[in-house]
Chains A and B, each alone.
Chain A
Amino acid sequence: MMESLNAYDYYAYENRPKIRWPNDARVAFWVAPNIEFYELNPPPNPSRKAWPQPNPAVPGYSLRDWGNRVGHKRQMDLLEKYGIRGSVSLSVALCDHHPEIIAACKERDWEFFSHGIYNTRYTYNMSEEQERAMIRDSIETIHRHTGQKCAGYLAPALSHSEHTLDLFAEVGSELFGDDAGFYTCDLFHDDQPTPVHVRSGKRFMSMPYSLEMNDTIVYAVNKVEPRHYLNMLKRHFDRLYEEGAESGTVMCIPTHNYQISSPHRIKAFEEALEYITGHSDVWVATGREIAEHYLANGYDDARDAIAHQNGGQR
């Protein structure tokens, strides 16, 4: 086991080269709806239980199924109302289970990125070959069902191995060259994109996907009240908007249709979207659009600045 994966270098959040977003926007804003499929009878993984109860875990399963049957459409309509195209963190088996959802997102020109096959199949204890096959399946499935070349990754249920990022970058290249597999949402170390080392040497980056603003972390882990979540989202935005005048920042709201769309919570979410999109210097984008812009315009400057900060050493 390693003390650190050394996936990224130390990079102080002051005196960084300026990140410039299109139209000199201060904040690149994206919403990442997790559209997930949790199995009723998942096989066991020695490192992590899928459900707190023996299968069938009706309370947890049915809540998540509610998200797909009821919540998704509500969230999709809301995002559309505020001119936001979702960047879907997708349990790709959903393409087989619920193609109607995929078709509706595709029709709205949403992005799809890989969140594994099922959110009840963890990376833990997979061999490297198994993890590679799982990632390959996920990228191929997205392509088959949507025609998109998957750019981003968020490991299923945030379960990782030491090689997760390396494998995602490699499989993306094997299938689609530099058009796929170039950003990860698995690192929560920064409010700006940063370069990430992968063993192939590919130009690869981390995309801010704020866990602190993630509705499931907020509601299920930190037990925050919906109206306070709204305060948090506004404050998070305000600070990144302020700092974005110096150098472009990224704000992401990672959502789950079974959390954000419930009738007692959706109003708070709507007010946050109204507030954020009501500001002039916001670039409402998708994960891929932000990543492509950063790789073309900010990545090299950051690499140089990091080398300089760390005395020329990586």
Chain B
Amino acid sequence: MSLPDDYLEYPWRQYGNDHNRYDWSMLTDRPQVRWPNGKRLAVWVNVSVEFYPLNQRGIPFKVPNGMTMPYPDLRHYSLRDYGNRVGIFRFLKAFERYNITPTYALNGQVAERYPSLMRRLADTGAELLAHGWNMDHLHYGGQDKTEETEQIKRTLDTLRKHSGQSIEGWLSPAKNQSDNTPDLLTAEGIRYCCDWVNDDMPYRFRTDHGDLMMMPLPTELEDQFIIGNNLHSEDSWVQQVKDAFDFLMEESATQGGRMLGLNIHPWMMGQPHRIGCLEEVLEYITGHEAVWQAGSGEILSAFQAQAGSGSEGPL
């Protein structure tokens, strides 16, 4: 038994990356970033507002947190839907109490199914991001390009029409992409994307229609990942967020402004026994004087406005 000869050929073996989407750059080699008013740590809280269809197709894979039982899986359908009708309102109260300006990443279908919820969120003045059509419409390698184009257009058209917002940010369901996704996003006027988890700061990503900015939203700090996937307790999630916050804050003292992206889900942290843990995190974050709490679009603008941040050229 043997492999074909080209298995030992390495066409992209070169300095930097094995692709041309962005340039290789270590975080510590870049110019230091300064946030407005001398703040050191920008904290972005994103709420993913999701619709998990009961008739999940699972193409090309079953989305994490989706249906797991034979059809009709009312158990997981209704547990996720809980977030949209109950959990999200506990979030809204907590944000008001701690004066948080979050962003909301909405599945396009949420705007269609629950227009009053979308209006309620938009009326807070928060920025809305697109989060794909629904949690069973993944973007994936090998996906038909026409189909993906339609999926992205439908999502953005729906959200833009119903919200009146320009919708400049994108978060793919399960952060999954095809080779075409970044190009299709910029073609539809998307300015930044939150799918790639390869940096702690924004960076520039090349597409066929100009550059896309990539915003850091670490999966490994998400509630659904720590509590749902890793089965750590909600108290451990609090500790992990605080530790990340403290570390980045400390690093910012010598390395310039840092940011922390925190992605949360109302069906997870909006449960009665978990909401107190979210409140504890929000209290901790807002209790520090060197924090700049803002939405992703605003943080990105501050980043891009700086000469020398590297944002004017490829990083």
Binding site for B on A (CB under 8 A): 1-5, 10-14, 47-48, 122, 124, 158-162, 186-191, 211-213, 222-224, 228, 231-233, 235-240, 243, 309-311
Contacts and interface: CB of A to CB of B under 8 A. Distances in A.
A121 to B, nearest CB: 14
Contacts of A231: 235, 273
Given A47-B70, A235-B276, A4 B77 contact: yes
A239 B233 CA distance: 18
B72 to A, nearest CB: 5
B117 A10 contact: yes
A211 B120 CA distance: 28
Given A12-B89, A239-B276, A223 B231 contact: yes
Interface string B82-98: 10111011101000000
B72 A5 contact: yes
Contact of B272 (A4, A122, A235): A235
Given A235-B276, A239-B276, A161 B72 contact: yes
B271 interface: yes
B71 interface: yes
B72 A239 contact: no
Contacts of A188: 74-75, 78-79, 82
Given A13-B89, A187-B74, 17 more contacts: A1-B54, A10-B85, A11-B85, A12-B116, A13-B85, A13-B86, A48-B70, A158-B69, A160-B73, A186-B74, A186-B75, A187-B78, A188-B82, A191-B86, A211-B79, A222-B231, A223-B231
21 contacts: A2-B72, A4-B53, A10-B84, A10-B114, A10-B117, A11-B85, A12-B116, A12-B120, A47-B70, A158-B69, A159-B69, A159-B70, A162-B72, A186-B74, A189-B81, A189-B86, A190-B82, A232-B273, A236-B273, A239-B273, A240-B272
Contacts of B88: 13
A190 B86 contact: yes
A1 B117 contact: no
Given A236-B273, A239-B272, A12 B54 contact: no
Contact of B54 (A3, A186, A187): A3
A194 to B, nearest CB: 9
Contacts of B74: 5, 158, 160, 186-188
A239 B89 contact: no
B187 interface: no
Nearest to B116: A309
B82 A189 contact: yes
A205 to B, nearest CB: 14
A161 B81 CA distance: 19
Nearest to B84: A10
B113 interface: yes
Q: Please classify the interface of chain B as helix (H, G, I), strand (E, B), loop, or mixed, using the class held by over half of its residues.
A: helix
Contacts of B114: 10
Contacts of B78: 187-189
Given A3-B54, A3-B55, A14 B89 contact: yes
A240 B256 CA distance: 43
Given A12-B116, A160-B72, A188-B79, A2 B54 contact: yes
A239 B85 contact: no
Nearest to B268: A212
Contact of A189 (B85, B92, B272): B85
Contacts of B70: 47-48, 122, 124, 159
Contacts of A236: 271-273
B265 to A, nearest CB: 14
A211 to B, nearest CB: 6
Contacts of B53: 3-4
Contacts of A232: 273
Contacts of B72: 1-2, 5, 160-162
Interface string B113-126: 11011001000000
Contacts of A189: 78-79, 81-82, 85-86
A59 to B, nearest CB: 21
A226 B117 CA distance: 37
Residue of A1, A12, A224 ringed by the most chain B CB atoms within 10 A: A12
A228 B227 CA distance: 13
B275 interface: yes
B59 to A, nearest CB: 14
A311 B266 CA distance: 24
B69 A212 contact: no
A224 B231 CA distance: 8
Contacts of A12: 85, 89, 116-117, 120
Contacts of B231: 222-223
A3 B53 CA distance: 5
B273 A212 contact: yes
A211 B73 CA distance: 13
A266 B235 CA distance: 22
A174 to B, nearest CB: 23
Nearest to A242: B272
A166 to B, nearest CB: 13
A70 to B, nearest CB: 28
A50 to B, nearest CB: 13
Interface string B179-193: 000000000000000
Contacts of A190: 82, 85-86
B116 A239 contact: no
A47 B70 CA distance: 6
Given A10-B116, A191-B272, A233-B273, A224 B85 contact: no
Contacts of A1: 54-55, 71-72
